[in-house]
Structure 1
Amino acid sequence: MRFHADLHIHSKYSRACSKDSDLEHLTWWARRKGVTLMGTGDLTHPVWFERLRESLVPAEPGLFRLRDELDREVSRTLPPGLASGTVRFMLSTEVSTVYSRGERTRKIHHLVYMPDFEAAAAFNRRLGRAGDLEADGRPVLRLDSRDLLEITLGSGQGAYLVPAHVWTPWFGVFGSKSGFDTVEECYGDLSRHIFALETGLSSDPAMNRRVSGLDRYRLVSHSDAHSPPMVARETTVFETDLDYFAVMEALRTGSGYAGTVEFFPEEGKYHLDGHRKCGVRMDPRETRRRGGVCPVCSRPLTVGVLSRVEDLADRPDGTRPDGDPGFRSLVPLPEIVGEILGVGSKSKKVLNEVDSLTAALGPELAILQELPVGDIARHSPALAEAVDRLRRGEVIRDPGYDGTFGTIGFFKPGELERINASATPALF
């Protein structure tokens, strides 16, 4: 079967995460978005781990589902067309390691996956010796990346690790502030056990494929959602059985791995270089011309993902290895509706309109990718035009930098007014 997976999320026990980040809300939003397989996130946190044990029951091999009584409560609050969507969970967590190597402080984030609760418990026992697992759902441990990988592999058959958002300046394995130039440098003699890399919001596969040393890795994308509505802003697509081990094998071999759904990388908050406090944003060429120094405060710029890719690239733009399944770049539906209505994407007005759209047309990912534009036009001609442009990649890009998200737009001044004036009354 073909399905979307979002395997990097956080619970309410992670810092700066929504109090609604629980299993019920995550299931609700997965159905609304059209995601079949979710990570649990935060399996290292003792309270969340017990919640997972209480609320999930075994489903397909290595996967779990909500208990029937909880699932019925979730389904009761969804429109009929969305209520029956299949949602499964894979035991997962993100771990932050902070350590010294090569006379530098390294701060690297990793995604870890476990095939069952017994393996997860063994993993937690060993990690507990390296730091406080109760302090944060994403624990910060003074542990070498190589040693974390060893602990992961020793926790149970099928446990595996994926480096998280690999280009992020502060916490990516290739990050400009504290990372490495190769996977092998980071994970040493165990690097052969790494077979997938998470690209992060500020890069896409096209950027990654400029580095020939990454050809052997499957490139995955996930939301890193800190609140349930952010689920599925990026996903990985599989064509496999719904099965933990089938997903792992697809990532290991490429068979059954069907590519990713991505942010436009310019929307990520570390795409270009710059200084947020100084309001300075630069592309790589300008950064190099200025020696990496901010022209306002004369301090080093935060070097973003595009510059870091340029540093390591040994291929031109447009390179695509044989067998690479490709990707699609999307914009979350609330952001598109917000532009059309002229209000923020999190406003009540936008939320109400998106509720109406998904109730009438189906899950968000299907609306953005598959639904005929004519069907969308019957509800909103402006939305139909935006989706048509989105599918063609005809968007207006304002890149993010130094922790500031970029924006992706669809309409130039006056265009929306002309579209609305020529349309018959619709949803909005």
Structure 2
Amino acid sequence: MRFTADLHIHSRFSRATSRDLDLQQLWRWAQLKGIRVVGTGDCTHPEWLAELERELVPAEAGLLRLRREPPPDQVPASCRAPVSFLISGEISCIYRKGGRTRKVHCLILLPDFAAAHRLNLQLARIGSLASDGRPILKLDAKDLLAMVLDASPRALLVPAHAWTPHYSIFGACSGFASLSECFDELAPHIHAIETGLSSDPAMNWRLSGLDGVTLISNSDAHSAAKLGREATIFDTELCYDGIHQAIAGGKGVAGTIEFFPEQGKYHADGHRCCGIRFSPEETIAHDYRCPVCGRKLTVGVLHRVELLADRPTGARPALAPPFWSVIPLIDLIGGALRVGSSSKKAETLYFELLQEQGNEFHILLEAPLQKIAARSSATLAAGIARMRAGEVEIEPGYDGKFGTVSVSASEDDAT
């Protein structure tokens, strides 16, 4: 069965997240986006875990559904579809290894509540689980992996947003040069990495050390509306073991839906306070220092990939699944209407399109352009056409500032 999943999200119990991150809103937005399986996020937080156990009941094997679904009028008829949840969470490991402080975020996928309780019992001995939905623990990522596998041999640990500078396995500020450098003899139990918003599969294909490692994408959503800004497409049995086998073996991951990586807030190098954004070559020429204030530049994902890559740009391993780069529909609508994407006018057209055309992924990737034009404008249809063709205008993100990826399209461009 082919379906789309977003397995890395957060709840309202994580810091810097929206209060709307509850199960009902996740259920609603999953349908609006076109997502069949959603991670619960934050399974280590005691209050959120208790809420999950109250509000969810078994669905497909190892997956869960809402005990009481909201009224159907919460979702347009064109978008309505079943939604299942998979127990997941993110843990921030901060520790010393190899003479350096390491900060590695890890995505955890678990087959059942019993495994979540076993893991939490071990983690609670290390530090507080109640202060943040994504707990910060003085714990080696390798030791966390051992605990995860001890909680359940069917559990998975996936290095999260693997390239971001500050909190990732390969990040420039505190990361490693390989999976084995981080996880030592347990590295064979790492079957996948999450590419993150600032990189895409093509960038990761440049590292032969990642051959055989499954590349997955998720939103890391901090509000319900951000669900699905990246996602993974599976073609496997709809159950926990089907997802586990697809990630662990590679077969069954049919592709990913991606940000244009330049839109990610750590793609390029730079220093946001001084407005400096550099390419890797410019950073090297300036000796990794900001030319305005002299402080160290934040080395971005593109630069870090260049440092570790052993293949040229354009290399692609055999049998690597495809990916599709998209711009969020609300941003395309804002551009077509020449208004902010958070404006009432853009929001109204967004929901009108969902009502008439179907979920967001269908509109972005599959819906006939003529139908989009008929229900909205030729300008929007032309913008979607250009996005699908990769004909975009880019100002890369850097040092914590999101980039902009847009299309220039008028009614005359529509086909």
Q: TM-score range by the shorter chain?
A: over 0.9
Match of 2:381 among 369, 379, 384: 384
| Residue 218 of structure 2 corresponds to residue 231 of structure 1 | no
Match of 2:317 among 318, 321, 333: 321
SS at 1:82 equivalent: coil
Matched residue, 1:337: 333
Q: Tell me the alpha carbon deviations over residues 186-237 of structure 1, each in whole angstroms, 9 at most, x when there is no partner.
A: 1111111000000000000000111110111000000000000000000000
Matched residue, 1:426: none
Matched residue, 2:23: 23
Matched residue, 2:111: 115
| Residue 259 of structure 2 corresponds to residue 254 of structure 1 | no
2:311 maps to a residue whose letter is R
Structure 1: give runs of 5+ residues left out of the alignment.
424-428
Distance in 1, matches of 2:153 and 2:190, equals 15
* Conserved? CA contact 2:30–2:227, under 8 Å: yes
Matched residue, 1:7: 7
**Superposition pairs of residues 132-211 of structure 1, within 5 angstroms:** 132-211=128-207
Distance in 2, matches of 1:251 and 1:122, equals 23
Matched residue, 1:270: 266
CA drift of 1:419 comes to: 4.2
| Residue 132 of structure 2 corresponds to residue 100 of structure 1 | no
CA drift of 1:12 comes to: 0.2
Matched residue, 2:403: 406
TM-score normalized by the length of structure 2? 0.98
Distance in 1, matches of 2:148 and 2:400, equals 30
Matched residue, 2:75: 78
1:220 maps to a residue whose letter is I
| Residue 311 of structure 2 corresponds to residue 312 of structure 1 | no
| Residue 351 of structure 2 corresponds to residue 372 of structure 1 | no
SS at 2:87 equivalent: strand
Matched residue, 2:391: 394
Matched residue, 1:298: 294
Aligned-pair Cα RMSD in Å? 1.3
TM-score normalized by the length of structure 1? 0.95
Distance in 1, matches of 2:190 and 2:160, equals 12
Q: Tell me the alpha carbon deviations over residues 348-407 of structure 1, each in whole angstroms, 9 at most, x when there is no partner.
A: 221111010100100000000011111111122111101111111101111000000001
Match of 1:213 among 205, 209, 212: 209
SS at 2:78 equivalent: helix
Q: Tell me the alpha carbon deviations over residues 4-54 of structure 1, each in whole angstroms, 9 at most, x when there is no partner.
A: 110000000000000000000001000000000100000000000000000
Distance in 1, matches of 2:7 and 2:15, equals 18
Distance in 2, matches of 1:394 and 1:388, equals 9
Q: Which runs of 4+ in 1 moved over 2 A?
A: none
Distance in 2, matches of 1:196 and 1:131, equals 27
Q: Tell me the alpha carbon deviations over residues 122-144 of structure 1, each in whole angstroms, 9 at most, x when there is no partner.
A: 01111001110000000000000
Match of 1:279 among 248, 264, 275: 275
Distance in 2, matches of 1:366 and 1:27, equals 18
* Conserved? CA contact 2:24–2:70, under 8 Å: no
Matched residue, 1:52: 52
Distance in 2, matches of 1:372 and 1:327, equals 20
Distance in 2, matches of 1:161 and 1:234, equals 19
2:51 maps to a residue whose letter is R
SS at 2:273 equivalent: coil
Matched residue, 1:357: 353
Deviates more, 1:131-140 or 1:254-263: 254-263
SS at 1:236 equivalent: strand
* Conserved? CA contact 2:233–2:257, under 8 Å: yes
Structure 2: give runs of 5+ residues left out of the alignment.
none
1:272 maps to a residue whose letter is A
Distance in 2, matches of 1:340 and 1:377, equals 11
2:387 maps to a residue whose letter is L
Match of 1:346 among 317, 329, 342: 342
Distance in 2, matches of 1:345 and 1:215, equals 38
CA drift of 1:72 comes to: 3.6
SS at 1:107 equivalent: strand
Distance in 2, matches of 1:342 and 1:224, equals 28
1:389 maps to a residue whose letter is R
Distance in 2, matches of 1:360 and 1:347, equals 20
Matched residue, 2:285: 289
1:25 maps to a residue whose letter is Q
* Conserved? CA contact 2:212–2:250, under 8 Å: no
